[in-house]
Amino acid sequence: MIIQTMSEYAPEYKPYQKKKGPEWQIALDLIKEHRALNLKNQTIHKVQLSLEVLIRTLLTFSQQNGFVKYNPRDKTIQVRHFKQHSIVYQYNPFRDPANRHADGQKVVSKTGKKTDFLDWETFPKNEHYLIWTANSGRRYGILVQPAPIVPGHLIVASLDLNPKTKRHYEQVIRYFHVTDMHELQAEMFVLGYAMGYNDRGAGASVDHFHTQLVPGTFMPIVRACHKGRLEIESTYSDHCGVDLKIIGTRSLDRPLSTAYPMPAFLLEADRLPAMLTKKRAVVKQLQAGRIIFNSLAWQQPNGRYTEAFFPRSQESLMNNAFKAGYVEMSGMLVMPNKALYASMKRPSQGALALEAVGLSAVDFHNFLKNIYHYFD
């Protein structure tokens, strides 16, 4: 068993190591001036500020002005992991549900006019964010997570209202959300980010459409994939070069702790646009079967694009000790309770917990039958 700080666990993540030049100061001035900085701002284009510079600056500024409630590299945060295994335990006392919101956020009246980013919260004065616009014209906020799980943790949330309800879109991924997020992934993958999604009832803490961005190097399933340790049990390919890879349906001759601990599947392709049709089909089938799910998308060092889908049967782990989202499904169990964390001494404990919230083998294979024909 290995116990490390976050810096020791992923030393390759160095968000602030690049030399700060004039572009950094321009980005900082823009972010200070605009609480909601539109990426279509003329100054951004005039001086050719990159998205990388803007995001790094936003993260630094949010840490400096106290919006981020703690430094995710705080040595209090520990990671306990095991060689050759896919389960990681993180002790993070700052992630207690009572402490996750930024200082200054307040519940607004249900009868009040809801013009804020989240229906039920108001922005604190020190929160700043970027506005990204998809080719569709729909707008999304790129916000800093005030209580990050890992360094560089961001939230991407819809800023537009549903024309039918006149309220923000609920946490249900729609056809056009898939398209928009696919477009944003192309920009964020280059920066080393992975995009995670928590379905309603599968770890989403706010019923407002959003995804999350984390540096992929922290996610155990990404690390296992990069090192060639992810056990692929079967692969199906289509004529467009998209592969469907099955993981986690272990056989009796393989220990639970060494296989991926729950039935899941990957979509992989050399070209990101090739995956879009298949992803829409997968999401449609999951929703048609009323199956809650999480997903995590990233780009491998060899350039291949990957998205893991985790169909779920329930939301909470370990007798309702905590809710599990895409981070847990990706192999990192985040625990604010020190006693629970201290009791996690074997990878099989977390593996069994994840297996319990996944679909049964029968339900998983019945679901797969509905998408196999897309790969004939």
The span from the CA of 132 to the CA of 193, in Å, is 16
- List the alpha helices (DSSP H) in the chain: 6-9, 22-33, 42-46, 51-64, 175-188, 220-226, 272-288, 326-329, 338-343, 347-357, 361-372
Half-sphere exposure (Cβ direction) of 243: Cα atoms closer than 13 Å: 15
pLDDT of residue 10: 92
Q: Which domains does the chain carry? A: 2-375 (3.30.428.70)
pLDDT of residue 258: 64
pLDDT by residue for the chain (376 residues), tens only, comes to 899 999 999 998 876 555 567 888 999 999 999 999 999 999 999 989 999 999 999 999 999 998 998 988 899 999 999 887 889 999 999 988 776 666 666 555 554 444 444 544 556 778 899 999 999 999 999 999 999 999 999 999 999 988 998 888 889 999 999 999 999 999 999 999 999 999 999 988 888 899 999 999 999 999 989 888 888 888 898 888 899 999 887 654 555 556 688 889 999 999 988 899 999 999 999 999 999 999 999 999 999 999 999 999 999 998 888 889 999 999 999 999 999 999 999 988 998 899 899 998 899 999 998 888 887 6
Q: How far is CA 36 from CA 18, 102, 258, 263, 284, in A?
A: 25, 17, 45, 40, 33
pLDDT of residue 232: 86
Whole-structure pTM value: 0.91
Inter-helix orientation angle 272-288/361-372, to 10°: 130
Q: What is the separation, in whole angstroms, between the first and last Cα of the chain?
A: 43
pLDDT of residue 114: 40
Across the chain, the runs of DSSP E, i.e. the strands, are 2-5, 36-38, 78-81, 88-91, 129-133, 139-144, 154-158, 193-198, 210-215, 234-237, 243-247, 264-269, 293-299, 305-311, 316-317, 322-323, 332-335
